[in-house]
Structure 1
Amino acid sequence: MKNRMQDLDFEQTVAFDRVEDFEFTRKAVQRFRQVVSLEGFEDEDADVIFHYLYKEMELVSFGDHLKRYIYERAGLEEPFADVTQDIYRDIVIESFHETCTPKSMKPTSTKLTSLVNNWLTQASVKRETVFLLGFGLRMSADDVSDFLTRVLREQDFDFHNPEEVIYWYCYFKQYGYHKAEELKNRYSGLEPDENYTEASKVFSGGLCLDSEEKLFQYLAYVKAGTDDPMSEKSQAFQEFCRLLNRAKEIIASMYQGDEEEKERGKVWKVSDISDSDVEKVICSGIPVNKMGNLKKMSASILAKHFSQKRFSRQRINSIMNHKFPVERFDLITLEFFIVSQEMQDDDPYSRYRHFLEEIQAILHKCGMSEIYIVNPYECFLLMCLLTDCPLAVFADIWEMSYEEM
């Protein structure tokens, strides 16, 4: 494996035109290469990966990303490590005043100074905080998109949500917060229109909203409710269903290969595989309580690393019933499971490359950003793929994360 580490080149897929991307990503890539090149990686892979995640991996917070963004935008010349928080705070406050951006989108008695200090130190923030900062810091639409997808690890602008469409338009045109409020008020009195002539472009990525006239033609279509963001029309939902079905096919094949099942003469089909079966196979390393449910995420010492998410039967059920939106976590986890099983006898490097090619295409199709190695969970899956038994290592590390408490 060592002689191929130079080929694990994330720099080829990451644009380093911004300081914050370059610094965080470069560090993560360097450490990734060092860990998978260690002498004991092949023989003690689970222990090596767990130690790195728990003891060594740098958790890059929302506040870290925000500081790096401000550092570059403000053109600060002193070394990044020497810039104190009060400098960042003052820059943000001044920018909010200059752009006439309110301190919150909802009524609050908290002072702007306190809010800014929180933003600069938080591990994560709500989606609406990113939108507010977009106005307060005069971000471009691309900047806000990066914060949504790479920093919060959520979906990009939701073009089925009228507020987010309006926000995107304002960032695109470099309009301020009050213009967005004006457009939102105008939307409230808008007549719905199902017969939008450009509807086909919504899913093909060819939608062009470069004028208020085009914006409101599209918003009238959104208001008609023709495209429910949680419906089967959602590209992410379609991909999720496709991957989930393939995962169930693999699990059915696993069960079919079991000696006891062969003796019973049962033929396992996809329809026989429940959400509980999917949870049991993918989350096999996570202990369960007396009720048969996965133990609480808070009991894992890697809870922060993995953003409080597990691929539980409850999560699957909520997505299928349109109670939860499909997130990148869901797509990445399913694709990891599929590749780990379909290519379990392949060379680890080939498996790793195939996964990257497949998942990057899926994420792009769903309007989500590419695999981001700074994200601990995504880094974890990539390391597992470079082991001889990815799913077993995946399970071992989850199990270790509960035993250490």
Structure 2
Amino acid sequence: MKNRMQDLDFEQTVAFDKVQDYEFTRRAAQRFRQVVSLDSFEDEDADVIFHYLYKEMELVSFGDHLKRYIYERAELEEPFSEVPQEVYRDIILDSFKETFTPKSMNPTTTKLSALVNNWLNQASVKRETVFLLGFGLRMTAEDVSDFLTRVLREQDFDFHNPDEVIYWYCYSTQHGYRSAEELKKKYAGLQPVAMENSQVLCSGNLCLDTEEKLLDYLARLKAKRDDPMSERSQAFQEFSRLLYHAKQIIAGLYQHDEEEKKGDKVWTAEKITPSDVEKVICSGIPINKMGNLKKMSASILARHFSQKRFSRQRITNILSHKLPVERFDLITLEFFIVSQEMEDDDPFNRYKHFLDEIQSILLRCGMGEIYIVNPYECFLLMCLLTDCPLAVFSEIWEKSYEEGEE
């Protein structure tokens, strides 16, 4: 494995490619290569990965990303690590005043200075906070897109959401928050215009460089606002496809398991329930007396994995549209599928195949590429380079709860 690590070039395939990266991505990529190149990785893979995640991996917060962005934009001269938070706070406060951006999109009695300090210290923030910062800091549409997909790890601009279309237009044309509010009022008064086709439009094939073109698009969007075709439903379709594929694999596993087969029972994908999916994918997570997965807070990797597990409740809520599909869901399912269908393949080939497949899926869903700085995504990539990815995946989950109980 060691002599193949030079091919794991995350700087070219993942995240910010600029020299002014301030080492978040490059440090993560370098440490990834070092860990999977260790002599002990092949024999003690789960222990090595767990140790790296819990003891060594750098957790990069939203606040850190925001500071890095401001550091670059403001062309600060002192070393990045030596800039006090007050400098960033004052830059944000001054910029919000200059751009006449409100302190919140919703009524609040909290002072802007307190909100700014909170943003600079937060591990994560809500989507609307990124949009607000986009106006307050005069971000470009590309800047905001990076924060949505790589920092929040959510989908890119939703071009079937009128507010997000308006925000994108304003960032692209450098119009401020007041212009966005005026455009929202104009949208409210638009007469819907029926669209000639059901093609999903996204920024890649839109040319909204004038207000006239924007309002024309919004009028067409308003006519099909209830149409299920959207960025989010694209993610739902991908989720449904991957979930069915996973169920087919699980049905095959059950069919060859004497305890599950129970005589002449024939397992099919249709017979696999969300509980079955949880049982297989989350086999390393302990169960409580009620038969549910133990609380995420009991795991010492809770922060690393953003409080998410692929539980039956999560699956059921997504299928009933109570929860949106997130990149976590798609990445977990694709990891499971590849780990099973390529279980006997060369680890490096398995890893490359996974990256090819998931990058394409995430792109179709507007969710941005795999990001090595994200602990959960780094974790799955490391597992794929072991001899038994799913077994290592489960063992590390199990360890995280055992360590959390100590």
TM-score, reference length from structure 2: 0.95
| Paired position in structure 2 for 1:398 | 397
| Paired position in structure 1 for 2:378 | 379
Counterpart amino acid of residue 244 in structure 1: L
Identical pairs, percent: 78
Deviates more, 1:358-367 or 1:16-25: 16-25
Once the 2 structures are TM-superposed, how far is the Cα of residue 220 of structure 1 from its aligned partner? 2.2
Please give the alpha-carbon distance, in whole angstroms, between the structure 2 residues aligned to 1:134 and 1:233: 22
Once the 2 structures are TM-superposed, how far is the Cα of residue 15 of structure 1 from its aligned partner? 6.3
Counterpart amino acid of residue 368 in structure 2: S
**1:2-21 counterparts in 2 under 5 A?**
2-14=2-14, 16-18=16-18, 21=21
How many positions carry a matched residue from both structures?
404
The 3-state SS of whatever aligns with 2:394 is helix
Please give the alpha-carbon distance, in whole angstroms, between the structure 2 residues aligned to 1:155 and 1:369: 7
Structure 1 gap ranges (5+) = none
| Paired position in structure 2 for 1:308 | 307
Please give the alpha-carbon distance, in whole angstroms, between the structure 2 residues aligned to 1:96 and 1:232: 31
1:19·1:68 contact (CA, 8 Å) conserved in 2?
Answer: no
The question of 1:366 aligning with 2:352 is answered no
**1:114-263 counterparts in 2 under 5 A?**
114-193=114-193, 195-197=194-196, 199-200=198-199, 202=201, 205-228=204-227, 234-261=233-260
The 3-state SS of whatever aligns with 1:200 is coil
| Paired position in structure 2 for 1:299 | 298
Counterpart amino acid of residue 392 in structure 1: A
Counterpart amino acid of residue 236 in structure 1: A
1:10-51 superposed Cα distances (whole Å, 9 cap, x missing partner): 122146554554621100001101111112111111111111
Please give the alpha-carbon distance, in whole angstroms, between the structure 1 residues aligned to 2:29 and 2:217: 41
Please give the alpha-carbon distance, in whole angstroms, between the structure 1 residues aligned to 2:52 and 2:82: 27
Once the 2 structures are TM-superposed, how far is the Cα of residue 132 of structure 1 from its aligned partner? 0.5
| Paired position in structure 2 for 1:40 | 40
Counterpart amino acid of residue 352 in structure 1: Y
Counterpart amino acid of residue 61 in structure 1: S
2:305·2:376 contact (CA, 8 Å) conserved in 1?
Answer: yes
Once the 2 structures are TM-superposed, how far is the Cα of residue 227 of structure 1 from its aligned partner? 4.8
Please give the alpha-carbon distance, in whole angstroms, between the structure 1 residues aligned to 2:174 and 2:282: 45
Once the 2 structures are TM-superposed, how far is the Cα of residue 230 of structure 1 from its aligned partner? 8.1
Once the 2 structures are TM-superposed, how far is the Cα of residue 260 of structure 1 from its aligned partner? 4.0
Structure 2 gap ranges (5+) = none
Once the 2 structures are TM-superposed, how far is the Cα of residue 315 of structure 1 from its aligned partner? 1.1
Assess, with a 3 A threshold, how the Cα gap between structure 1 residues 188 and 262 changes in structure 2: closer, same or farther: closer
Assess, with a 3 A threshold, how the Cα gap between structure 1 residues 172 and 197 changes in structure 2: closer, same or farther: farther
1:352·1:386 contact (CA, 8 Å) conserved in 2?
Answer: yes
Assess, with a 3 A threshold, how the Cα gap between structure 1 residues 170 and 163 changes in structure 2: closer, same or farther: same
Please give the alpha-carbon distance, in whole angstroms, between the structure 2 residues aligned to 1:231 and 1:212: 23
Please give the alpha-carbon distance, in whole angstroms, between the structure 2 residues aligned to 1:181 and 1:204: 21
2:310·2:329 contact (CA, 8 Å) conserved in 1?
Answer: yes
Once the 2 structures are TM-superposed, how far is the Cα of residue 113 of structure 1 from its aligned partner? 1.3
Higher RCO by CA contacts (8 Å cutoff, separation 6 or greater): 2
Once the 2 structures are TM-superposed, how far is the Cα of residue 310 of structure 1 from its aligned partner? 0.8
Counterpart amino acid of residue 173 in structure 1: T
Please give the alpha-carbon distance, in whole angstroms, between the structure 1 residues aligned to 2:384 and 2:280: 17
| Paired position in structure 1 for 2:56 | 56
